[in-house]
Amino acid sequence: MPDLPAEAAIQAADTDLLAEITALRAELAAQQRTIPALPAEHDMRRITWRPWQQPPTPIAHIDLACHQCGHPGPQMLALGFVGSEKPIIAYQANRCPSCQEMRVYRRDPAPLTEIAYHPPLSGGGFPPATTTEETNR
């Protein structure tokens, strides 16, 4: 009866797969909950943020990969508007979609100035490159 063990093996594989899907879904939900909050105001100006988006055209001279977790990028981009009558893009934020490291910049008035930094979360999809080097010593 070679059919029975094979069927049991398939059922075990199915169970493993289901457990893996459940774990991945939990991880995804955790990542979506942990997107860092954007500042609501800066320098006495209220900032209205547009939703996070993928940059439409990658900029060639910028390295797209995340230095923290090695995610190939591109980073997510959010634009912040100020002013009620003629809103201008005065702020922008860049965020790694994997480890959630985030930097917020003021871009008006120039020059581009970093105003907020959110460090990467541990447990992102890509392990930090430094851990193996340190533990192998």
Nearer to Zn ion, 32 or 84 (CB): 32
Does residue 104 belong to the site contacting Zn ion (CB under 5 A)? Answer: no
| Tokens 């959110």 belong to residue | 118
Does residue 82 belong to the site contacting Zn ion (CB under 5 A)? Answer: no
How many of the chain's residues bind Zn ion (CB under 5 A)? Answer: 7
Does residue 102 belong to the site contacting Zn ion (CB under 5 A)? Answer: no
C-alpha distances out from residue 13 to 5, 16, 22, 131, Å = 12, 5, 14, 32
User: Could you give the string, one character per residue 39-68, with x where binding to Zn ion holds by CB under 5 A and - elsewhere?
Assistant: ---------------------------x-x
**Peptide bond preceding 109 in cis form (omega within 30 of 0):** yes
Q: Check: CB of residue 93 under 8 Å from CB of residue 74.
A: no
Residues contributing to the site for Zn ion (CB under 5 A): 66, 68-69, 71, 96, 98-99
